Chains A and B, each alone.
Chain A
């Protein structure tokens, strides 16, 4: 199996002296292509910081994040933005849809930002798979939490990224919807051959992953 994502001795500290917080403390992980990895940790364990590093949203103090053979932090901001929209799909806890855009537009937004032509067949396929074909013209304020997160999933898939990063994707959902969304997410990555790294504090959710990493005090302990 090919390693799609790799961190090398990643370090991120906040504050200094007595107030120093070791958010990420010399962490090295590897994720294989097509894998579904869950990173589990308690609140404040550093899991969100790790995910932000993986996605190139935040820069580490030292160490490397390599996605598809490219070290993210060797890129300039503008290049990183382009890299993000091409290689990384994000799914956030609070959905982060653009309120002014309808469902379809939200989904194809990363393609638009990249100036790419929309492959309608592909996107329509995703939309049908996530069960929102009827809602394409709806604005986000008309959707339930679960529906919003499905739109976010479709958006992450639409640009066929190298890896999808999900930050507590079910954190804002009730438990029934939670399971639905996770199942959908899992079936999507399978169907489209995607790699998924998901962080969660919920062990049950984590159990649905191929592999679970546990993070404590900025270190991956398992």
Chain B
């Protein structure tokens, strides 16, 4: 070991407290640099492996493709593989809550989808079927492979369910029921393509076409998704019928946004690390000037001093970086384990699979490149932080060091100051802070920078609100709504138009709900399906093919009426009626136009939901004349309307498409278009009330009950880990900031030990010393808080706006992070007072004489 290294090691021990501070900062940096990528990549590799084990290796699916187009696709060179699936019919059980579509799959789909049979084979002949036990039970049957069963079913024709037929099938295979399918009553019996051909006439087939694309190796997922959409559109498919297999693509191709996000996060950590380590060195360097000067005096070269500082720093890093990496790996594995073991309800199958993979240890969470990256970046962070101290230390000359009094060196020094006529402790404090403005500024900036990040992260955490996400779809405690099912010939009464003619949401039932214990209010809102288009020439069209004939206009109302049904293809929107209170609330979210528009008052105005309008009718503007047709029982009502306003409100308030005043909607209709009951319940009685509501409406098959609590649980699950991550970041930024503050305070006293001792010699009392130090600390605190709260709030708001437009992390409503901010202020203040106290205690251990004589 040469002299430089020996000295560096000696310094290491001597500057113990400083090196512990710096070591902690480095550990923290390395910890975060390891934790985040390991967690993200670990979680992803588990997910990817699970996806690849569960998901078909297809790139996407085109739905509702007719036979001709499907055949064209099969010939198209852009596809590597094309295969198809068709719903031939639906097993009829009479129970609205059971879905058992009969799928006819081609061989490739079977192969790619990795469908496994519990026993038997896949159906080939027209009278062969694969069922599950649950499915048989739903039909009221029992049986196994080889048995002949009579299956009542409804053939499917262009999305409509025809009248029930019956056919005898041989069970050739059995599948397993998943817990979900049993719980939700969704089964997937399989029949042969031969069967589909038998019951669906040529030219009326509707397929789901699954495909793999050619030449997409190395493309980012976003580009692949774009390509899938373009190809689909070239085949004349609507956007709704184009689906990329995002999970599979995400698992197997590079997702640019993910890595950009991760990179940005790591950059923030590196920045925080550099700031902290640099500021610790910067502050403590003042203290070391004489030591380096003495070394220069006895003949050390500039290069040697640089090396000395560098080696001392790296010696600390040599211990701190591995420690940080090990802690980071351990933390990441624990986090991934926690994430996996509480898999989310939304994707239970995937979660289970991930759990299994995690347990089996098949996916390695610890990745060499992450460790190397973390180590490399941490050392780089230390190196960058040391650059400036190295340069400063090497520039110190022997003479400067010996003369050094703790002021600035080299640069132009102040020669005089205006000063005060009489002094007091606060004035003394101001003078001290003003002496080294740059140091004061660096300290406040570095404390403030972490504070800014803290407040920004706190804003993100605070806006990541499950309730906001839930409120988007349900705004009351319990929501009863109509759940129609269109085009079922067996159950025409489940169609919306039929429900409106015989609406189960009667005043009588509403009255009974109002009497339930805890229910405080039941608010009814109307909604119906409709069709909206530009006004020119619309509404005067010829009766359509289904034989809608009569069209008449009620005199003076402007409402035209025709009989007949709107086909599902025609319906392109829905209209919700809002009462006065809801309209008032809606006015807060209007982005264009106004709810005061005359058209809204005379019943001819509508309000459109902004995202829907932008997506589906991007050319429409406020003031446009539109023609609106709505489903009203057995009739279709139409009228010209004005697009009075555009609003960005939650769908639970205004629906996903069009809102208009309740009275105007009701005035257009002759049937009962009540659609929602928003039920408010006293706190604590939600669950029992929901149970009673369910009981009351159970008679009516077409009513559906949802509760805020249940839906909120799902929302909470969905954002839980992002939220944890966010709070984790918050803790880290807080920790870095506090570390920084402690260092600043300790050093500011340490550097001035002698000066403080002298002040005490000439009569500054202990209390006055503490007062002065506290005033200084208060100044730093105030500066830090002003920076953090000011810039942090702005940055936080920018992040909020970004997340909102991107629809990230369930962020919808801005909530100022008041609690974390108050905590931040409180903690900073408490830390500062505590440190002043401890520093002073420690200071008292030295006698006054020692303090005055202090020269190291």
Binding site for B on A (CB under 8 A): 52, 55, 57-58, 77-78, 81-82, 84-86, 88-90, 92, 96, 98-102, 104-105, 108-115, 117-118, 120, 137-142, 155
Which residues of B from 758 to 800 have beta carbons under 8 Å from A? 758-768
Which residues of B from 369 to 420 have beta carbons under 8 Å from A? 405-407, 413-420
Cross-chain contact A137 with B416 (CB below 8 angstroms): yes
Stretch at the interface among B254-262, B426-434, B534-542: B426-434
Which residues of B from 412 to 461 have beta carbons under 8 Å from A? 413-425, 427-428, 431-432, 434-435
Cross-chain contact A105 with B419 (CB below 8 angstroms): yes
Q: List 9 A-B contacts (CB under 8 A).
A: A58-B848, A84-B763, A101-B417, A101-B419, A101-B431, A102-B418, A112-B423, A112-B425, A137-B419
Q: How far is the CA of A58 from the CA of B853 in the complex (A)?
A: 13
Q: How far is the CA of A37 from the CA of B17 in the complex (A)?
A: 45
Q: How far is the CA of A109 from the CA of B689 in the complex (A)?
A: 75
Taking the closest CB of chain A, its distance from the CB of B711, in whole angstroms, is: 62
- Tell me if B550 counts as interface (CB < 8 A to partner A): no
The one of B416, B425, B431, B849 that contacts A58, using a Cβ cutoff of 8 Å: B849
Cross-chain contact A120 with B434 (CB below 8 angstroms): no
Cross-chain contact A57 with B852 (CB below 8 angstroms): yes
Q: Name which residue of chain B comes closest to A107, CB basis.
A: B423
Cross-chain contact B763 with A141 (CB below 8 angstroms): no
Given contacts A139-B416, A139-B417, contact A99 B407 (CB under 8 A): yes
* Residues of B with C-beta under 8 A to A82: 763, 765
* Residues of A with C-beta under 8 A to B768: 81, 113
* Residues of B with C-beta under 8 A to A101: 417, 419, 423, 428, 431
| Additional A-B contact list (10), CB under 8 Å, known A85-B763, A100-B431, A114-B763 | A52-B848, A57-B848, A57-B849, A92-B852, A96-B852, A101-B423, A101-B431, A105-B431, A113-B763, A113-B764
Q: Name which residue of chain B comes closest to A111, CB basis.
A: B422
Given contacts A98-B755, A109-B423, A112-B423, contact A78 B849 (CB under 8 A): no
Q: How far is the CA of A140 from the CA of B419 in the complex (A)?
A: 13
Taking the closest CB of chain B, its distance from the CB of A16, in whole angstroms, is: 18
* Residues of B with C-beta under 8 A to A90: 761-762
Q: How far is the CA of A99 from the CA of B415 in the complex (A)?
A: 11
Cross-chain contact A81 with B764 (CB below 8 angstroms): yes
- For chain B, give the interface size range: 35 or more
Cross-chain contact B758 with A100 (CB below 8 angstroms): no
Cross-chain contact A142 with B420 (CB below 8 angstroms): no
Given contacts A58-B848, A112-B424, contact A104 B419 (CB under 8 A): yes
* Residues of A with C-beta under 8 A to B423: 101, 105, 108-109, 111-113
* Residues of A with C-beta under 8 A to B417: 101-102, 137, 139
Q: How far is the CA of A82 from the CA of B760 in the complex (A)?
A: 10
Taking the closest CB of chain A, its distance from the CB of B346, in whole angstroms, is: 62
Cross-chain contact B416 with A138 (CB below 8 angstroms): yes
Cross-chain contact B422 with A100 (CB below 8 angstroms): no
- Tell me if B2 counts as interface (CB < 8 A to partner A): no
Taking the closest CB of chain B, its distance from the CB of A104, in whole angstroms, is: 6
* Residues of A with C-beta under 8 A to B432: 100
Most central of A57, A82, A89, A100 by chain B CB within 10 Å: A100
Q: Which 10 A-B pairs have the closest CB atoms?
A: A85-B763, A112-B423, A100-B435, A81-B765, A96-B758, A137-B416, A102-B419, A100-B431, A118-B422, A84-B763
Q: How far is the CA of A98 from the CA of B405 in the complex (A)?
A: 10
Q: How far is the CA of A202 from the CA of B319 in the complex (A)?
A: 54
Q: Name which residue of chain A comes closest to B754, CB basis.
A: A96
- Tell me if B847 counts as interface (CB < 8 A to partner A): yes
* Residues of B with C-beta under 8 A to A142: 415-416
Given contacts A57-B848, A96-B758, A137-B417, contact A112 B765 (CB under 8 A): no
Q: How far is the CA of A152 from the CA of B663 in the complex (A)?
A: 90
Cross-chain contact A115 with B852 (CB below 8 angstroms): no
Q: Name which residue of chain A comes closest to B423, CB basis.
A: A112
Q: How far is the CA of A98 from the CA of B755 in the complex (A)?
A: 7
* Residues of A with C-beta under 8 A to B759: 98, 109, 113
Cross-chain contact A110 with B758 (CB below 8 angstroms): no
* Residues of A with C-beta under 8 A to B428: 98, 101, 109, 112
Taking the closest CB of chain B, its distance from the CB of A79, in whole angstroms, is: 9
Taking the closest CB of chain A, its distance from the CB of B760, in whole angstroms, is: 7
Cross-chain contact B406 with A99 (CB below 8 angstroms): yes
* Residues of B with C-beta under 8 A to A108: 421-423
Q: How far is the CA of A67 from the CA of B765 in the complex (A)?
A: 19
Q: Name which residue of chain B comes closest to A104, CB basis.
A: B419
Taking the closest CB of chain A, its distance from the CB of B206, in whole angstroms, is: 85
Taking the closest CB of chain B, its distance from the CB of A138, in whole angstroms, is: 5
* Residues of B with C-beta under 8 A to A86: 763
* Residues of B with C-beta under 8 A to A110: 762-763
Cross-chain contact B416 with A102 (CB below 8 angstroms): yes
Q: How far is the CA of A89 from the CA of B761 in the complex (A)?
A: 9
Cross-chain contact B763 with A139 (CB below 8 angstroms): no
Q: How far is the CA of A55 from the CA of B848 in the complex (A)?
A: 11
* Residues of B with C-beta under 8 A to A141: 405, 407, 413, 415
Cross-chain contact B435 with A78 (CB below 8 angstroms): no
Q: How far is the CA of A157 from the CA of B425 in the complex (A)?
A: 21
Q: How far is the CA of A84 from the CA of B762 in the complex (A)?
A: 6
Which residues of B from 491 to 513 have beta carbons under 8 Å from A? none
Q: Name which residue of chain A comes closest to B428, CB basis.
A: A112
* Residues of B with C-beta under 8 A to A88: 763
Q: How far is the CA of A78 from the CA of B847 in the complex (A)?
A: 14
Q: Name which residue of chain A comes closest to B415, CB basis.
A: A142
Cross-chain contact B766 with A58 (CB below 8 angstroms): no
Q: Name which residue of chain A comes closest to B765, CB basis.
A: A81
Cross-chain contact B431 with A109 (CB below 8 angstroms): no
Q: Name which residue of chain B comes closest to A101, CB basis.
A: B431
Q: How far is the CA of A43 from the CA of B848 in the complex (A)?
A: 20
Q: How far is the CA of A37 from the CA of B167 in the complex (A)?
A: 128
The one of B405, B755, B761 that contacts A55, using a Cβ cutoff of 8 Å: B761
Q: How far is the CA of A3 from the CA of B435 in the complex (A)?
A: 43
Q: How far is the CA of A138 from the CA of B847 in the complex (A)?
A: 32
Taking the closest CB of chain A, its distance from the CB of B404, in whole angstroms, is: 10
* Residues of B with C-beta under 8 A to A105: 419-420, 423, 431
